[in-house]
Structure 1
Amino acid sequence: MMLSLRILIPLLVINNIALAQTVGGHVSGSINKEPLPLVSVVLQKENTTIATTITDKEGLFRFYVSLVHHQTYILRLSLIGYYSKEVSFIYPDTSVLHQLVLEESKTILAEVTVTGKQPLLMRKSDRTIINIENSELANGFSASEVLQRLPGLWVDNMGNIRLKGNQSVTIMVNDVVQRLDTEELVDYLRALKSDEISRIELIPNPPSEFEAGGSGGIIHIILKKRNKNGWTGSFNTEYRQQADKPYYTTGAMLNHQLNKLYISGSITFVRDTRSITEKTTITYPHLSSFSNFTHRGEKVQRQQYRFAAVYDLSKSQSLSLQSSFSKTNWRQQFFSDEIYKAYQLSYGKATSAKQRILNFTGATLNYSYRPDTLGTILKVIADFSNNTRDDNSEYNKINEDQYKQRQWRAQIPVNTRIFSLQSDYTKIFTPKTLLKSGIKYASISRDNKMVTEDLENASWTLTPGQNNHFLYAENILMLYVSAEQKWRNTTVNAGLRAEQTFSKGNEISSSITFSRKYLGLFPSVFLMQSLNAEKGTTITASYSRRLTRPALNELNPARIEFGSYTSVSGNPNLQPQYSNHFSLAYQFIKNHSLEAYFVHTNNFIALSANTGANNSIDYHTENTGTTKEYGIEYSSTIFPVKSWTINTSLSAYRSVYSFNEKPYRLTSFYASSIHTLTFTNITDIDVMADYRSPYIYTNLYTYGNFNMDIGFSKKILKAKAKLRLGFTDIFNTSREKEWTAEKNYSIAFYRKRPTRSIRISFTYQFSSGKKMQAKNIDMGGQEERRRAGN
């Protein structure tokens, strides 16, 4: 394999004399020569349209079409705020397309309303693009809620985002991997509002230029660009009634261009109050059992601030800075009734209060240099973040048996610092040959303490065995190279990534230390064959190797109690898991795709449970061996009539686990459908429905779930504002229901959140000044944030 790659990569770079039938070029503005994204590009022959596309964020476009030598073709370019342009060329001479310039319109398009919009879904060879901006998802949602509504994507009961059956994913925002544990990532996505999002890219099988972390691919969130000179901004507010509790949020965004300096800022406030009910039943041998009925009240206050600036050093160089700060105050109250059934019934009550304060501060500095107009670019990105989390909990257990009564408290402060530095270089030799390479260094440090005390004789004393001070440091060095070459209707992309990891852990309280050093090689190969360019028919095959490192909280050996009969502890002996991904996809009739995939994972990391003292359930993570998953997915976009769009996703997959020397197998199904109806000058209606059949994750069996939402949107105030009325989970069928069985116990769990709600949101956009090219601020360096908690 290594020898083949060493031979293949240079051949792909050198061989630029093939008979490629690919048309590509670059589009920029006439004033500042900045690349123009979202330019409509139409390729025609004798007044017949052959293909259409839009330019990317670098102003680049490409067509994969069959062209005839010595035939004349016409390229039409258009973008709001610029004069349209028409260019003719005789194939194969496409040099005129390498640098296309659009002249800015002399007419100021103040308050122009663009009624046309991109389709919700756009499918490319290696990813699916969901255009959030101007869609039914653009207002009144958080990023977390948007992800739950995307076809083929779902969120499990633990908050883990899944893609392609049951595969976990990595989240990126503006090229920055979010290195956060599950709870912190959920909080981050809840704070990010949908009106800040331009589009989301689903990349199930990432090439080598992406970090190898994450077993199920990458979800890339691209934030909205501002496209007017002078001042632009927006204001949004939302109120939601969820059962008998309210939720409301408000936010604002402001952007300004001053000569070579572009600045942007935003602020968001959230208040969320909700009630949750839970039931847990643990059954032991000889039919003894423990049941817990809990009512949980939550109050969440969240605020988030963002600032960004870009300065153009020259026409080809720019320097950008992006910073963000967020703070969350999360209060919870638990009221539980407990029944323990053994030789006789025992009744008890438990109350607890928990406060979690989260603080996140991050900054990214980016330098970019574009030496030519073909799209060649050098980027240097430095990123730093500091995460703190302070958990304070108090527990009070009251029981008929005074020996089972207990009052205790816990304090768990955590601090995580992450720094990364990377350089990426993309060289485009011709529209059919390119080379990418890069190097990256990432450093993670964590300081985690836990202090647990019991109330005894009116004084607090340390609880034996439940006090912990854990220090962890990790350094990762990453390198990659990839090349892409096209011949006629065939595209080949091959790459290799290497990641060297050094880590050390020190549990000071118990003098447990460990260290790791491992090197991983991650090849990727991508092949695409165009069968019919006009109909968009292609076949795509891909392979990649990926890894999942243990999350930082999974390595801490501390044991944390949750209530009377449940605890969780980490495992310092965890090893990373490695996955091999194979896929074969067929795209036809432009808007339909069918894909089969297979994933094989070694050293699979899973949550296991054992019975401890007093029949408590002790959870811990461990490497469980190998797992397999294979499945098939179908997705489509159809237009029954002009004003009605239907996006459908169907999938079936089979999961195979080997856990505690027992096999677990199950075939699962998933279906989702999004309907959008547009009634001009009246309202837009969107209906979203999805169903997931029961599925397994090792020995955890999760029951099926159905959800349906409906929303109504209306543009008002000369289309400057948008009013939206939405109803979520209208049949109130969404719930979390799980079952786990082992030799010495079985656990049945049920949770109901206030998923049925009514919401109303209002968004107002304003602007003053001339049209301009938006600045895109790249961030880099947060795969660590996916794994690092606060």
Structure 2
Amino acid sequence: MQQLATLVTILLLALNTVLLPIIVNAQRLSTAEKADSLKAVTVHGRKPPIEVKADRTIVNVEGSTNSVGQNALDLLRKSPGITVDKDDNISFSGKTGIKIYIDGRQVPLNGTDLADYLKTLQSSDIESIELIANPSARYDAAGNAGIINIRLRKNKAFGDNGSLTGGYYIGTHSNYNGGLALNHRDAHLNWFGNYNYNNTTNTTHMDLYRIQLDTLFDQHSNITPTLSSHTFKTGLDYFLNKNNTLGVMVDGSLTNFSIPTSSNTHIYYLPDGTTDNRQPNRILEADNSAHGYRNNGNLDLNYHHIDSLGHELTMDGDYGIYRIHSDQFQPNLYFTPDGGSLMYSDIFDMLAPTDIDIYTFKTDYDQNFKKGKLDLGLKTSYVTSSNDFRQYDVVATTKLQDTLNSSNFLYKENINAVYANYSRPFKGWAIQAGLRVENTNAKGTSNGYREGITGYQTYDSVFNRHYTDFFPSGAITYNKNPAQQWTLTYSRRIDRPAYQDLNPFEFKLDEYTYRKGNTTLRPQYTNSVGLSYVYKTKLVATLNYSHVKDVFTQLVDTIDRSKAFLIKENLATQDITSLNISYPWQLGRYSIFANVNAYYSLFNANFGAGRTVDLHVFAVNAFVQQSFRIGKDWMADLSGFYTSPAIWQGTFKTHALGNLDAGISKSVLQKKGSVKLSVSDVFYTLHWTAVSDFAGQYLRATGHTESRQLKLYFTYKFGNAQVKAARTRKTGAEEESKRVGAQGGGGLNN
């Protein structure tokens, strides 16, 4: 309640000090516009929920009622071809190497931190989501599954305007958020800024049934994370003249989290392999608690030049800081089989601060050339990541540092890239070809203590990597018949390991489950070829084949007979063949969009000692969204998705999954405001199940979250509704950002 009172106070102060003058000014502008009404006509229209183009699919969020109260991760979960697994890992058409961008700028997080950041972005701030399967050489070569670009809402002409948003939604817990956006633009400058606050609590129920050699673990957990986040962005574009613009932008987020976990595990001894009428020989109770923060800030300085001859130059210099800290208290209490007496306990306290700094500079130059367009560019980046992990054994009220399970990992990386891309239209044809070259220099240093011949000894483990790669891309389009268009594309891409996945240190999830990094983890490379067909700009069919070498996967491997550890490894290969078909249809006030993505995926690897992976699956993802215009100011939406059995992380076979959402909205206050009401997961069907059988270990995981929620949203726009948008900045810190703060893609007990 104190946080809510603080938010209300901030909004009231904003109303008195900022908004009221803007509203008064907007009223004057409105009067002037009425006097000049013969010179300008404003047309109000609603974009279709989904637009499909030859190179991308666009999900228009702003006008969808079913986006009410959703966050960015929720929206991705039900976007065409996208799958989000139980650990919030995102895949696109069966491939997991997707890169997330915000307004053309890559998000500087991965794994759990990426998922938590996406949960802070509310649908009221999102205009559209672009799904780009095969990016050109202009983009960083990272991302074997392509790019997801989330475009935030912007304004559209000269003058002042802004918006206020507020939302409340409830499942088991109450959640709320609110935001303020302001924009000013005249002939000389454009200032823009926004602030959003979000408070979210959501319980996840998860059951893990694991058999390893002669021991069975039957675990039941409730995880209730609470996120409290403040996100902000402000920037200024100064127009030197009609050809040149200077800009500066600052953005960031401040997030505090608390993750209490209540876990109960019955442990059975099974020397004969039978489970009938078996009683546990002990019960493990672990009421874990983790809290901390994830803060980041970014500064972007930019310059843009364009002239009437077709020359365009952009330059960006960026500096980003990321500070991530977690403090996990983990009591492991072992009770007798009847649960009445405490046998013994192991209690740990783990501190994990992470500091990451990113420096980038990039420039892009475009010009008309040989009846086409030539793009040239270069980029350099330097990243430092420091991870200091400390584990303490708690005895009574005393904490003793476990030096054997504590270490410091420092990672430095420099990537230099140049690219050239050429495109040209012909009569009935169009071509595009490009080449990107990236040189990578990386050094990782891990130090701590380990057991030696003469006792505990310090160690300093160092690895260095230097490599240069070439990444060609190309496309040929045949459009002689305007009603039918064929496009053939090819690209080669890379995914470098996330910084934290290289850290060899072991992180304890519980007494029997560890997570650790892998210094031998190599980049994965993907070659993709696709053929797409577009009929009358509506029916779109795309056939794509990808071969991934050294594909990343998170394995649950075995250690010390009954214990297990999670580690990222390079699988030998992954082959994916996919077919995606989509079609929009409209009849009067009713419209529908349907998308079906079918793919065949094959994972194959042999790690020796009977540790093999040989899994294949034919999977289907289906998505349908329907919209109904009811009367003049009412709109209703009904949407749902279905995912057939598939494979997660190379070793987990999953069961089918699906849900249905419904919502209704109404325009109010002379169309300046809107009220939206929706229910997510109406039939409460988002319950997942996954099974793994690897390295002599059988694991079945089941669970669900507070996916069924009632959501209420209100939005009010004030000032001139036609203020031109602030320039969309594509800053330099792109490829680096995705890999910040990775935690191995999430764990079984996260």
Compute the displacement of 1:139 (Å). 4.8
Compared CA separation, residues 486 and 258, structure 1 to 2 (3 A):
closer
Cα contact 1:695–1:702 (8 A) shared by 2:
yes
Q: How does 1:671-690 map to 2 (within 5 A)?
A: 671-690=622-641
Residue 504 of structure 1 corresponds to which residue in structure 2? 443
Residue 318 of structure 1 corresponds to which residue in structure 2? 245
Compute the displacement of 1:662 (Å). 3.7
Structure with bigger RCO (C-alpha 8 Å, 6+ apart): 2
Cα contact 1:659–1:699 (8 A) shared by 2:
no
Q: How does 1:338-357 map to 2 (within 5 A)?
A: 338-342=265-269, 345=280, 346-357=282-293
Cα contact 2:104–2:729 (8 A) shared by 1:
yes
Cα contact 2:386–2:408 (8 A) shared by 1:
yes
Deviates more, 1:593-602 or 1:255-264: 255-264
Deviations 1:736-762 (A, max 9, x none): 321111242111111211000100000
Distance (whole Å) between structure 1 residues aligned to residue 42 and residue 118 of structure 2: 30
Distance (whole Å) between structure 2 residues aligned to residue 337 and residue 519 of structure 1: 49
Compute the displacement of 1:204 (Å). 0.3
Of 646, 651, 656, 1:695 maps to 646
Distance (whole Å) between structure 2 residues aligned to residue 436 and residue 317 of structure 1: 19
Cα contact 2:97–2:495 (8 A) shared by 1:
no
SS of the residue aligned with 1:190?
helix
Q: In the alignment, does 2:608 pair up with 1:657?
A: no
Residue 518 of structure 1 corresponds to which residue in structure 2? 467
Cα contact 1:608–1:621 (8 A) shared by 2:
yes
Compared CA separation, residues 600 and 434, structure 1 to 2 (3 A):
same
Distance (whole Å) between structure 1 residues aligned to residue 233 and residue 726 of structure 2: 15
Compute the displacement of 1:188 (Å). 2.4
Compute the displacement of 1:262 (Å). 1.1
Deviations 1:34-86 (A, max 9, x none): xxxxxxxxxxxxxxxxxxxxxxxxxxxxxxxxxxxxxxxxxxxxxxx9xxxxx
Q: In the alignment, does 2:414 pair up with 1:475?
A: yes
Of 464, 469, 476, 1:527 maps to 476
Q: In the alignment, does 2:116 pair up with 1:190?
A: no
Residue 202 of structure 2 aligns with an amino acid whose one-letter code is R
Q: How does 1:144-159 map to 2 (within 5 A)?
A: 144-159=73-88
Q: In the alignment, does 2:594 pair up with 1:648?
A: yes
Residue 364 of structure 1 aligns with an amino acid whose one-letter code is D
Distance (whole Å) between structure 1 residues aligned to residue 221 and residue 39 of structure 2: 56
SS of the residue aligned with 1:189?
helix
Residue 17 of structure 2 corresponds to which residue in structure 1? none
Compute the displacement of 1:120 (Å). 2.7
Distance (whole Å) between structure 2 residues aligned to residue 767 and residue 330 of structure 1: 36
Distance (whole Å) between structure 1 residues aligned to residue 634 and residue 350 of structure 2: 52
Residue 692 of structure 1 aligns with an amino acid whose one-letter code is T
Of 188, 191, 200, 1:260 maps to 188
Compute the displacement of 1:403 (Å). 6.3
Distance (whole Å) between structure 2 residues aligned to residue 330 and residue 504 of structure 1: 31
Residue 653 of structure 2 aligns with an amino acid whose one-letter code is Y
Distance (whole Å) between structure 1 residues aligned to residue 119 and residue 42 of structure 2: 30
Of 207, 217, 229, 1:302 maps to 229
Of 182, 186, 201, 1:273 maps to 201
SS of the residue aligned with 1:212?
coil
Deviations 1:705-764 (A, max 9, x none): 011100101101110001000000000010232111124211111121100010000000
Cα contact 2:95–2:144 (8 A) shared by 1:
no
Q: In the alignment, does 2:172 pair up with 1:232?
A: no
SS of the residue aligned with 2:224?
strand
Compute the displacement of 1:614 (Å). 5.7
Compared CA separation, residues 458 and 237, structure 1 to 2 (3 A):
closer
Compute the displacement of 1:143 (Å). 2.2
How much is the aligned-residue C-alpha RMSD, in angstroms? 2.1
SS of the residue aligned with 1:554?
helix
Residue 719 of structure 2 aligns with an amino acid whose one-letter code is S
Compute the displacement of 1:183 (Å). 1.9
Q: In the alignment, does 2:309 pair up with 1:360?
A: no
Deviations 1:197-252 (A, max 9, x none): 3332211011111111011011122223311322100000010011x210100111
Cα contact 1:383–1:779 (8 A) shared by 2:
no
Cα contact 2:206–2:221 (8 A) shared by 1:
yes
Compared CA separation, residues 263 and 222, structure 1 to 2 (3 A):
same
Of 496, 502, 519, 1:549 maps to 496
Q: How does 1:128-143 map to 2 (within 5 A)?
A: 128-136=57-65, 139-143=68-72
Cα contact 1:235–1:252 (8 A) shared by 2:
yes
Of 313, 316, 320, 1:378 maps to 313
SS of the residue aligned with 1:405?
strand
Distance (whole Å) between structure 1 residues aligned to residue 346 and residue 45 of structure 2: 64
Distance (whole Å) between structure 1 residues aligned to residue 42 and residue 74 of structure 2: 27
Distance (whole Å) between structure 2 residues aligned to residue 410 and residue 156 of structure 1: 27
Q: In the alignment, does 2:263 pair up with 1:336?
A: yes
Cα contact 1:225–1:776 (8 A) shared by 2:
no
Compared CA separation, residues 112 and 265, structure 1 to 2 (3 A):
farther
Residue 512 of structure 1 aligns with an amino acid whose one-letter code is S
Compared CA separation, residues 485 and 185, structure 1 to 2 (3 A):
same
Distance (whole Å) between structure 1 residues aligned to residue 50 and residue 237 of structure 2: 30
Cα contact 2:175–2:199 (8 A) shared by 1:
yes
Compared CA separation, residues 584 and 663, structure 1 to 2 (3 A):
same
Residue 433 of structure 1 aligns with an amino acid whose one-letter code is G
Deviates more, 1:780-789 or 1:554-563: 780-789
Cα contact 1:229–1:257 (8 A) shared by 2:
yes
Compute the displacement of 1:543 (Å). 0.6
Compared CA separation, residues 459 and 762, structure 1 to 2 (3 A):
same
Cα contact 1:408–1:453 (8 A) shared by 2:
yes
Q: In the alignment, does 2:528 pair up with 1:578?
A: no
SS of the residue aligned with 1:731?
coil
Q: How does 1:79-478 map to 2 (within 5 A)?
A: 107=36, 114-136=43-65, 139-242=68-171, 244-286=172-214, 288-342=215-269, 345=280, 346-372=282-308, 374=310, 376-400=311-335, 404-429=344-369, 433-456=372-395, 458-478=397-417
Distance (whole Å) between structure 1 residues aligned to residue 262 and residue 216 of structure 2: 20
Residue 629 of structure 1 aligns with an amino acid whose one-letter code is I
Compute the displacement of 1:150 (Å). 1.9
Compute the displacement of 1:333 (Å). 1.3
Compute the displacement of 1:531 (Å). 4.0
SS of the residue aligned with 2:326?
strand
Distance (whole Å) between structure 2 residues aligned to residue 743 and residue 175 of structure 1: 42
Deviations 1:477-503 (A, max 9, x none): 011001011110100100000000000
Unaligned runs of at least 5 residues, structure 1:
1-80, 82-103
Compute the displacement of 1:138 (Å). 6.3
SS of the residue aligned with 2:479?
strand
**What TM-score do you get using the length of structure 2 for normalisation?**
0.87
Compared CA separation, residues 479 and 348, structure 1 to 2 (3 A):
same
Residue 583 of structure 2 corresponds to which residue in structure 1? 636
SS of the residue aligned with 2:117?
helix
SS of the residue aligned with 2:124?
helix
SS of the residue aligned with 2:469?
strand
Unaligned runs of at least 5 residues, structure 2:
1-28, 271-278, 337-341, 449-458, 607-611, 743-750
SS of the residue aligned with 2:706?
coil
Deviations 1:573-630 (A, max 9, x none): 1110100001111111320011111100111121122222261111111112111111
Distance (whole Å) between structure 2 residues aligned to residue 411 and residue 563 of structure 1: 15
Compute the displacement of 1:336 (Å). 1.7
Distance (whole Å) between structure 1 residues aligned to residue 468 and residue 241 of structure 2: 40
Deviations 1:101-126 (A, max 9, x none): xxx99826999874322323332221
Identity of aligned residues (%): 25
SS of the residue aligned with 1:520?
strand
Q: How does 1:478-493 map to 2 (within 5 A)?
A: 478-493=417-432
Residue 479 of structure 1 aligns with an amino acid whose one-letter code is V
Cα contact 1:169–1:216 (8 A) shared by 2:
yes
Residue 625 of structure 2 aligns with an amino acid whose one-letter code is I
Compute the displacement of 1:553 (Å). 1.0
Distance (whole Å) between structure 2 residues aligned to residue 472 and residue 397 of structure 1: 32
Distance (whole Å) between structure 1 residues aligned to residue 369 and residue 380 of structure 2: 28
